Structure 1
């Protein structure tokens, strides 16, 4: 709010400076015809003083009208009635200043119109000229203020969208971490019951992964090398538990420091283990292939699956992943092949065409 107010007054101050310069230029040009006997330095001096005097009428008029139109308690007819009253009062002030102060005390002459002396300060034609001068200024200041408010609204909308995006991504990530943690703890629990020798190693691996999930995943982006390392740690845990599982992992990365949103890639691996490893599968396998070349990521995972998956096999995980990809990498492509005995996904991300993380 404070920065908005500061910005508003900076813009308005700039407006009044430019408006003053414009009016000085126009009146100085006009004065050489109205007062041909005056030297140009005198005419310039008089013009500077006269336009400064007019600002004492125009500035209160401008902000009085802005105040009326910005306050909600001025409604309907009352708003228009008050505005008309303010404009009439400003015309009176403008004419009084022109007729009784500017002409006799600055120019040292009586106000004239077409060579004839203006009898009264509210003469119809000159009053209309004052009205048009004031309305022209009001139109300019309202235009500046409306434009400023529209730009401010656009900035606020953009900020709200960004905050909403961050909140949604945080929520989506929060749905992932507990799912992974509970599954792995169940695995460790089963191994502990069997008193498996690998149990301490699995706990150590889990500690490393959870440290990554808690600290690294809070970042908007990390290096792809770190993300791949986390995938390897996850696979290592699963390897200890699933001895009969065949896992092939290949990677070709030409830029390990390439930034990527954390916890995107690992979700596909989690799904592969969740749906591709079953006691009913004799030869279960998972194949992971990651390639990054010239800023283009090609990521494919193929896993074995039951011919008749569980009826309640949820697609929430894939829906979650799709939503994150839509938010972070709108130009991505995700190909899914679901066959009777195997499941394949292929993800392509062109990092040159993605939004800034």
Structure 2
């Protein structure tokens, strides 16, 4: 709230400084023809003084009209009457200052019309000139304030969208295969009963995965090197669970520090095990190919499945993944082939695309 108020004060202060400079320049330029006998120093001094005096009328007028516009909740007719009354008072104040102070005390002459006839305090022409001077200023002030409010509203909407996106991504990440932990713990329990030598390694790999999911996954982005390392730990544990599994992982990364949203790539691997490999009764395989070249990621997974596996068993998992990709990488390309005996997934992300930012 303080930053918004501070910004409003700064914008309006800058406006009045620029407006004062503009009006002073125009009056100074006009005074060359109105008072040709005055030196430029006197004309400049007089111009600066009279514009300061006008600001004492214009600033209260502008903010009084803004207050009526924003805060007064009367019907339109009453608000229009208020606008008219305020502007009439402002025109009278403008005329009083011009007629009784500027000309006799600043310029030292009597105010005249274009035909050199003395001008009274109020008449049609001079009142119209005062009215136009004030309305021009009011239009500028309203334009600046309405523009500022629209920009502030856009920022608030953008912030709300960002917060909503973050909340949705957090929710989607929380949906990632919670059964993996329980299944792995059951395997470790069985290995511990058998006093298998691999038990400490499996516990270490599981702890690394949990650390990744708790800490690394909370970040908006991590290096692709860390993301691949998490996939490798996941595969090592799965090899112990699935003894008749053939795993091939190929990687070609030209920039290990390339940032990527965590838990995107691993979900395809989890999906391959949950709805493919885990349903296979005999020999099964999973082949993973990860390539990153010139900021373009090409990621493919191919895994075996039973011919009579449930045809729609991957819909929920893929729906989750697709939604995350839509939010994070709008211009990605994802293809999924559900063949008789295998699944083939191919993903392409261009990290150079600014729409991903």
Normalising by the residue count of structure 1, what TM-score does the alignment of the two structures yield? 0.93
Q: Whole-Å Cα distance in 1 between the matches of residues 158 and 280 of structure 2?
A: 51
2:142 is aligned to 142
Change (3 A) 1:46 1:344: same
1:307 is aligned to 307
Preserved contact between residue 223 and residue 257 of structure 1 (Cα < 8 Å): yes
SS at match of 2:250: strand
Task: Identify the range of structure 1 (21-30 vs 31-40) with the bigger mean alpha-carbon deviation.
Answer: 31-40
Give a deviation string over 1:101-130, Cα, whole Å, max 9, x none. 1111111122111211113x1212111110
Please, which runs of 5 or more residues in structure 2 have no aligned partner?
A: none
Give a deviation string over 1:174-208, Cα, whole Å, max 9, x none. 1116343244335445x369746244443332112
2:65 is aligned to 65
Preserved contact between residue 192 and residue 199 of structure 2 (Cα < 8 Å): no
Change (3 A) 1:314 1:290: closer
Give a deviation string over 1:298-346, Cα, whole Å, max 9, x none. 1111111121223772511111111111111122111111111111101
Q: Please state if 1:291 is matched with 2:305.
A: no
By how many angstroms is 1:296 displaced?
1.6
Preserved contact between residue 331 and residue 355 of structure 2 (Cα < 8 Å): no
Q: Whole-Å Cα distance in 2 between the matches of residues 309 and 279 of structure 1?
A: 7
Task: Identify the range of structure 1 (145-154 vs 66-75) with the bigger mean alpha-carbon deviation.
Answer: 66-75
Normalising by the residue count of structure 2, what TM-score does the alignment of the two structures yield? 0.93
Change (3 A) 1:268 1:101: same
Q: Whole-Å Cα distance in 2 between the matches of residues 28 and 318 of structure 1?
A: 71
Q: Whole-Å Cα distance in 1 between the matches of residues 194 and 188 of structure 2?
A: 10
2:336 is aligned to 336
SS at match of 1:335: strand
Q: Whole-Å Cα distance in 1 between the matches of residues 91 and 267 of structure 2?
A: 71
Count of residues in correspondence between the two structures:
355
Q: Whole-Å Cα distance in 1 between the matches of residues 248 and 124 of structure 2?
A: 93
1:118 is aligned to 119
Q: Whole-Å Cα distance in 2 between the matches of residues 17 and 74 of structure 1?
A: 33
2:207 is aligned to 207
Alignment of 1:163-182 (within 5 A): 163-176=163-176, 178-182=178-182
Please, which runs of 5 or more residues in structure 1 have no aligned partner?
A: none
Q: Whole-Å Cα distance in 2 between the matches of residues 229 and 193 of structure 1?
A: 25
Q: Whole-Å Cα distance in 1 between the matches of residues 267 and 9 of structure 2?
A: 50
Alignment of 1:1-357 (within 5 A): 1-71=1-71, 73-113=73-113, 114-119=115-120, 121-176=121-176, 178-188=178-188, 191=190, 195=194, 197=196, 198-278=198-278, 281-310=281-310, 313-353=313-353, 355=355
Q: Whole-Å Cα distance in 1 between the matches of residues 82 and 204 of structure 2?
A: 76
Preserved contact between residue 91 and residue 134 of structure 2 (Cα < 8 Å): yes
Give a deviation string over 1:218-273, Cα, whole Å, max 9, x none. 11111111111111111111111111111122212222111111111111111111
Q: Whole-Å Cα distance in 2 between the matches of residues 102 and 124 of structure 1?
A: 19
Query: Aligned Cα RMSD in Å?
Result: 2.0
Preserved contact between residue 209 and residue 234 of structure 1 (Cα < 8 Å): yes
Give a deviation string over 1:121-178, Cα, whole Å, max 9, x none. 1212111110111001101111111111122122222222222221111111111163
By how many angstroms is 1:355 displaced?
4.5
Give a deviation string over 1:36-72, Cα, whole Å, max 9, x none. 2222221221111111111110010001001111115
Q: Whole-Å Cα distance in 1 between the matches of residues 188 and 75 of structure 2?
A: 69
Task: Identify the range of structure 1 (332-341 vs 160-169) with the bigger mean alpha-carbon deviation.
Answer: 160-169
